[in-house]
């Protein structure tokens, strides 16, 4: 059901100093070091404590800590109350931290989306301005072309705007003819 835990390797430093902690082999110091969920922490702690007691049956600190740990489900005992409060605080803290991280990630994503939207609008506006400038240039070129003289067409007189019907064109013909 559970993987066998090699307690000697996983928590060697804690095991080497746990007898110096007050109280010895303190469950809560282990839980902080372990930094796992309640079930995993309890499994590791139980494995370690059983190993210590098995290897050193006269270790009163380890035996006391293990007996106390075995009463953790009894919420009437001081250790049971303390254990319950510890896990409530830790789970609340973890949930709050997780919610904060999620809100932050959501805010960052929304900010990114809005910025991309603004940039796309800006690009679109710049593109339209460029297209309008090109269109205006084309219209300006069209407006600079010589247009037929409507008065000449209606009154049946020579069109002053037509090629060959202005002084320059006449002069050009005269000069060309004299060559």
Domain holding 27, by residue range, is 7-97
13 within a domain of the structure (yes/no): yes
158 within a domain of the structure (yes/no): no
Write down the residue that tokens 């931290």 correspond to.
97
39 within a domain of the structure (yes/no): yes
Domain count, the chain: 1
Q: Residue 179: its pLDDT value, please?
A: 46
Q: Please give the model's pTM, rounded to 2 decimal places.
A: 0.49
- Read off the pLDDT of residues 77-131 as tens digits, 9 standing for 90 and up: 888 999 999 999 998 876 676 676 777 777 778 788 888 888 888 888 777 777 7
173 within a domain of the structure (yes/no): no
61 within a domain of the structure (yes/no): yes
146 within a domain of the structure (yes/no): no
More confident residue, 55 or 177: 55
Torsion from C-alpha of 17, 18, 19, 22, nearest 10 degrees: 110
Q: Residue 24 contacts by C-beta under 8 Å, 6 or more apart in sequence? A: 18, 61, 62, 64, 65
What is the DSSP code string of 135-148? Answer: HHHHHHHHHHS---
DSSP strand E in the chain: where? Answer: none
104 within a domain of the structure (yes/no): no
82 within a domain of the structure (yes/no): yes
């Amino acid at each position: 059901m559970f993987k066998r835990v090699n307690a000697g390797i996983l928590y060697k430093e804690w095991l080497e100093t746990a007898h110096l902690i007050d109280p010895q082999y303190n469950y809560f110091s282990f839980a902080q070091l372990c930094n796992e969920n309640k079930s995993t922490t309890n499994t590791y702690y139980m494995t370690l404590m059983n190993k210590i007691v098995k290897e050193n049956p006269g270790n009163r600190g380890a035996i006391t800590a293990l007996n106390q740990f075995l009463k953790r489900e009894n919420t009437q005992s001081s250790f049971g109350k303390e254990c319950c409060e510890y896990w409530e605080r830790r789970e609340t803290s973890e949930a709050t931290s997780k919610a904060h991280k999620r809100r932050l990630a959501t805010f960052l994503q929304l900010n990114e989306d809005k910025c991309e939207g603004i940039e796309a609008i800006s690009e679109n506006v710049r593109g339209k301005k460029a297209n309008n400038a090109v269109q205006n240039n084309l219209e300006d070129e069209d407006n600079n072309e010589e247009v037929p003289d409507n008065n000449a067409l209606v009154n049946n007189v020579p069109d002053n705007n037509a090629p060959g019907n202005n002084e320059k064109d006449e002069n050009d013909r005269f000069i060309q003819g004299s060559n």
